[in-house]
Structures are given as C-alpha cells and as structure tokens.
C-alpha cells in the first residue's frame, strides 16, 4: 500500500503587485496602520514585510506544500469552510458556509498576490477558508485546490470561469445567433482539458430543420457526449435536461443569445434569470448575464449561469496536446507514420486515414485543423480560438 504524502511547510517570497497604491512615507508605519487596518491584520507571526513603501515590498509567506499544490498556511481551527457562490472583484464575494448562512467576504491581499497566473484569485465554485468578522462579513484566507474547471484566456492570463463542477452544458442555438459547430468543438476541448463532462444542448429547435440537425447531433452522440435538443419556449427537452442536472454541479456556457438563462428559467421558473433578444443589426446575442453565479436547484445539485462568450481561447494547451482533446483521434494517433505528425499535411497519417474511412467527422476534423493552423501562427502562446464563420448547410 502506497504511503500518503505528508504536507510540508516551507517559506516562499511573494512580491506585492505594483502600482496598487502610492509610495508611503519612509518608516511611517503608525500612519499607515491608521489608513489600512486590513494590512495590520495581515502582519501575522508567520509573515513579515520588507522594503520601503508599496512599490518594492516583498512578503515571506508560510505555505503547506503537498507536492502538487502550494497553499498559504493558515490556522484551520480558527477558520470556517465555505463555497463561493459569486465573486465580483476582490471586495464582493458571496460565500455559503458549510455550517450556517452566508458571508459577504473580501479576499486577503496575500491570497490575491499569490495568484499570479490567473486573472481572478477567487471564482464561483471555489472551496475556501474564511474568517468570520461578524455582522455578516468575512475575509477569505485561502483558496483550496481546484478540480473540474472551465478556463479560457483573457488578456494573456488564465480566466477560470468556474471551479469544482462535474459537467458543462454547452448551449448552441439552431439559429439567431447561427449555429457554429466549430465553437462547440472548442468548448468540448476546454471541458476535456478541465476534466469535466461535456453535454451538447441544441436550443431553439423551432428555428431550424430537424433533419439537417441530425448530422450535428449524431456526430457528438457517437462520440459518447450527451446531446439534448431543447426549446425553452415550448418546454421540449426540459424534462430531460432537468434529469441530467439533478444531483450534479453544472455550468451553462456558450455564446451570448443562445438561451442559457431562458433554459434555466424553464428548468426552475422561480430563478428569474434576466433574458434579452438578439441584436437586430448584428444578429448576435446581447450580454444579459453579467456575473457567474452558483445557484441551488430544488431537486438537488447546483447550476452556474455564465456570461456569454463570443470568442474562446484555450489556456495552457500546446499544439501537441490538441489531438488528445479530440477524443475520436486517440485510437488512430498511434498509427501515424511519424511520431510528431500534425495530422494535416504528412503522409501515412492514421488520423487522416480514419477521416477518409468515415470514422472521423469532417466537421470535427475541420475544427481541429483550424485550431492547429492558427496556433502555428502564434508559437509559445495559448491556442487562439476565433469564431467560426460557417453555418450548417
């Protein structure tokens, strides 16, 4: 029986983010403490400050290192465990406590500082340790390791949309806005990367031709993805969707205007999620959902409504990894003549042979080709995902 790894405590040096405040007066700690009481609370025995002023300060932080994650060391006996329901910046985080009620929390600055690779230190779905300050207020001391994430690139940083979920419902409208199979494929790549189950939802079925849609629905069903055809207005497919959500933690994602909020209102009418029609000029959806929020379902489980995404970039994906995110490619990669085959222009390619034999969908292969060819233009950068401009024929 393998021995469980023990957590070890070590120190790391963390630099404060620059340009957060003006430089303070030299050694004027008394005035500084009057102006920023939170900073005084941060000065614990396991942490110290060095340097002159805000622009050059470093912090030595005690961490718990279990080999896979580096976490800020805190006294867990004085903290409460909770789940982040929604996060608006660093000063407006709603946390559902395990033991009781909600707290309106801020995020300890050292937690924000340690989160250097991401756009947001705390996201909906995070498991956190908080200190109760009384009167319904609290401060987040640590974010626990994340599993089951949906992530994209935003401003060259990782934008974690939601954490610790089981599955993602990728909502695409049959029309208004037009169906983009390539964008569905890119969302599925993101779910494969994040370790969550992808579900394809084709909404607004009343605006399309069911016979034509069979090619799209069939290609995902054959790969093992669940496919649900819905109409939020008539209620078609809502019972099946409700069944898939029961007891699970699910994020709804997709373009603006595809009907994510309308579907959630149909599944649980009292949610009252805001909805809007698409733009008459651009035929694109309008942003009505502004905040990613974890919402409890009456039948058990949680759903997360997210703002619409018009473009998607995969975070931390190399060109060589893309083939593994297309699950139907995996059995044929080993049959390629060259070990570094890109599956685009090489001879003796197992993937292209499978494509010609009908084992791989031409639309799926087209999505793969676009990703890889576009990535070759941006070496050493995350995969750049651009919206497809083709529609179902």
Examine residue 204 and state whether it is found in any structural domain, yes or no.
yes
* Whether 173 and 272 share a structural domain: yes
> Is 389's pLDDT higher than 60?
no
pLDDT class for 19, splitting at 50, 70, 90? very low
Choose between 35 and 364: higher pLDDT.
364
Helix 181-194 / helix 362-376 crossing angle, nearest 10 deg: 70
In this predicted structure, the answer to whether residue 275 has a pLDDT above a threshold of 80 is no
Q: In this structure, are 358 and 263 located in the same domain?
A: no
Q: Looking at the chain, which runs of residues are DSSP E strands?
A: 8-15, 48-50, 58-65, 70-72, 80-87, 93-97, 102-107, 127-134, 137-143, 150-154, 157-162, 167-173, 197-203, 226-229, 249-254, 293-296, 302-305
Q: What is the pLDDT of residues 99-149, one digit of tens each?
A: 888 999 999 888 887 765 556 789 899 999 999 999 999 999 999 988 998
What would the mean pLDDT of 12-41 be, rounded to a whole number? 52
Report the number of distinct structural domains present in the chain.
Answer: 4
Query: Tell me, what's the pLDDT at 255?
Result: 85
Predicted pLDDT of residue 315: 57
Q: What is the per-residue pLDDT for 30? A: 59
Looking at the fold, whether 293 and 155 belong to one and the same domain comes out as: yes
Of the residues 117, 143, 169, the one at which a domain ends = 143
Identify whether residues 164 and 290 lie together within a single domain. Answer: yes
In a domain, 383, yes or no: no
Residue 380 confidence (pLDDT): 43
Nearest-CA neighbor of 184 among 251, 135, 253, 105?
A: 253
State the pLDDT at residue 254. 87
pLDDT tens sequence across 205-264: 988 888 888 888 999 999 999 999 999 889 999 999 999 999 999 999 988 888 888 899
Decide which of 1 and 114 is more confident.
Answer: 114
Residues 66-93 have a mean pLDDT of 79
170 CA to centre of own chain? 13
pLDDT for 82 equals: 94
With respect to residue 155, please indicate whether it lies within any of the assigned structural domains.
yes
388 within some domain: no
Q: Is the same domain home to 242 and 295?
A: yes
Same domain, 132 and 242: no
pLDDT digits (tens, 9 = 90+) for 326-383: 999 999 999 999 999 999 989 999 999 999 999 999 999 999 998 888 755 544 444 4
179 and 222 fall within a common domain: yes
Q: Does 340 lie in the same domain as 367?
A: yes
Residue-level pLDDT at 391: 37
Residue 79, domain CATH: 2.40.50.140
Find the domain containing 130 and state its range: 71-143
Per-residue pLDDT, averaged over 14-29, amounts to 51
- pLDDT-based confidence at residue 76 (cuts at 50, 70, 90): confident
Of 344, 334, 330, the C-alpha closest to 375 is: 344
CATH code for the domain of 207: 3.40.50.300
Examine the domain organization and report whether 158 and 273 are in the same domain: yes
Q: Whats the size of the chain, residue-wise?
A: 393
Whether residue 42 is predicted with pLDDT greater than 70 in this model: the reply is no
The answer to whether residues 269 and 168 belong to one domain is yes
Q: Indicate the pairing of strand 302-305 with strand 249-254.
A: parallel
């Amino acid at each position: 029986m393998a021995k469980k790894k023990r957590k070890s405590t070590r120190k790391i040096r963390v630099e404060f983010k620059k340009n957060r405040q003006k430089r303070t007066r030299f050694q004027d700690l008394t005035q500084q403490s009057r102006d920023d009481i939170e900073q005084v609370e941060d000065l614990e025995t396991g942490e110290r400050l060095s340097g002159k002023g805000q622009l050059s300060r470093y912090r030595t932080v005690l961490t718990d290192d279990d080999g896979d994650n580096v976490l800020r060391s805190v006294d867990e006996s004085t903290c409460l465990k909770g789940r982040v329901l929604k996060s608006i910046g660093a000063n407006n985080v709603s946390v559902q406590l395990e033991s009781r009620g909600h707290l309106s929390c801020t995020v300890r600055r050292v937690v924000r500082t340690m989160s250097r690779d991401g756009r947001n230190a705390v996201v909906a779905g995070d498991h956190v340790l908080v200190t109760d300050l009384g009167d319904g207020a609290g401060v987040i001391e640590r974010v626990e390791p994340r599993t089951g994430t949906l992530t994209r690139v935003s401003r060259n940083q990782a934008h974690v949309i939601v954490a610790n979920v089981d599955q993602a419902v990728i909502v695409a409208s049959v029309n208004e806005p037009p169906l983009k199979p390539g964008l569905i494929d890119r969302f599925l790549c993101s779910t494969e990367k994040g370790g969550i189950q992808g579900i394809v939802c084709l909404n607004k079925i009343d605006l399309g031709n069911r016979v034509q849609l069979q090619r799209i629905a069939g290609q995902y069903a054959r790969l093992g993805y669940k496919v649900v055809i819905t109409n939020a207005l008539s209620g078609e497919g809502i019972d099946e969707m409700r069944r898939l959500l029961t007891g699970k933690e699910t994020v709804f994602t997709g373009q603006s205007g595809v009907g994510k909020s309308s579907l959630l209102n149909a599944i649980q009418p009292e949610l009252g999620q805001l909805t809007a029609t698409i733009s008459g000029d651009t035929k694109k959806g309008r942003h009505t959902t502004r905040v990613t929020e974890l919402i409890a379902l009456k039948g058990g489980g949680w759903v997360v409504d997210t703002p619409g995404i018009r473009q998607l970039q995969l975070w931390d994906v190399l060109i060589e990894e893309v083939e593994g995110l297309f699950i139907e490619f995996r059995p044929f990669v080993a049959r390629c003549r060259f070990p570094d085959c890109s599956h685009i222009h090489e001879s003796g390619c197992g993937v292209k042979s499978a494509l010609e034999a009908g084992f791989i969908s031409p639309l799926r292969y087209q999505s793969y080709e676009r990703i890889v060819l576009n990535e070759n233009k941006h070496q050493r950068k995350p995969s750049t995902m651009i919206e497809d401009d083709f529609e179902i024929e």
